A and B are shown apart, each in its own frame.
Chain A
Amino acid sequence: AQSVSQHNHHVILSEAASLELGCNYSYGGTVNLFWYVQYPGQHLQLLLKYFSGDPLVKGIKGFEAEFIKSKFSFNLRKPSVQWSDTAEYFCAVNAPGGGADGLTFGKGTHLIIQP
């Protein structure tokens, strides 16, 4: 079974600061990797995903993530955050190849951006 670890549970930044949220997974096989965001009072939305190919993936709202296979990591980055980025961020994985598979989520990072 897969597991996901997010290192930062609470992060507070000022507007225009750079962001990096850590995510490591544990699984011996091929994985699909995702970052989802949950804005206050809203549903989970996909920020970006990695299935294969270029390990640097770009998502919505200026977010990007890099898959480093040797480190089992998929860290999320944004060069300059905005107040509207305040939200809960979840890293998630599933294992392709065996049919429909649910997502395993990390515990989440609560990000607060101060104006």
Chain B
Amino acid sequence: DTEVTQTPKHLVMGMTNKKSLKCEQHMGHRAMYWYKQKAKKPPELMFVYSYEKLSINESVPSRFSPECPNSSLLNLHLHALQPEDSALYLCASSPSGEDTQYFGPGTRLTVL
């Protein structure tokens, strides 16, 4: 089973709201990732967690706050977002961080 699940599928929020995106995998993978994908563009890396520790932060604004509570779960906390943050947010996992990444279906976020 190579399934990565993400909730919610869709999220609409105002600029003053606080919300969270959730990602889960039960494949025993030790690396997890957040990517942002704007319409008709490729995914862009935001964060990498390796063995539950943040290992890469691609200069993402602090209004995005990642969290890895355990090896199966990855959250992305959102606060005071801007309309330009509207995008598809993809989660991925890989066994060790140096091999194939498996992607979830994404959360489509709209910021009003």
Question: Which A residues lie at the B interface, using CB under 8 A?
Answer: 32, 34, 36, 42-46, 49, 51, 90, 94, 96-97, 99-108, 110
Contact = CB atoms under 8 A, between A and B. Distances in A.
Nearest to B44: A105
B100 A102 contact: no
Contacts of A110: 40
Given A43-B106, A100-B94, A107 B42 contact: yes
Contacts of B99: 32, 51
- The interface residues of chain A, by DSSP majority, are classed as loop
Nearest to A95: B98
A110 B96 CA distance: 31
B55 A100 contact: yes
Given A34-B100, A99-B50, A99-B98, 17 more contacts: A42-B105, A43-B90, A43-B106, A44-B103, A51-B99, A100-B31, A100-B55, A100-B94, A101-B48, A101-B97, A101-B98, A102-B33, A102-B48, A102-B56, A102-B58, A103-B45, A104-B45
9 contacts: A32-B99, A43-B104, A44-B103, A90-B42, A99-B97, A100-B49, A100-B50, A100-B94, A101-B56
Contacts of A43: 90, 103-106
A94 B55 CA distance: 15
B50 A46 contact: no
Looking at B40, B90, B98, B99, the one whose CB has the most chain A CB atoms below 10 A away is: B98
Contacts of A42: 105
Interface residues of B, number: 29
Contacts of B56: 100-102
B102 interface: yes
Contact of B101 (A103, A107, A108): A103
A90 B37 CA distance: 12
The 8 closest A-B pairs by CB, nearest first: A100-B97, A102-B45, A105-B42, A100-B50, A44-B103, A100-B31, A43-B105, A96-B98
Interface string B83-112: 000000010101011111111111000000
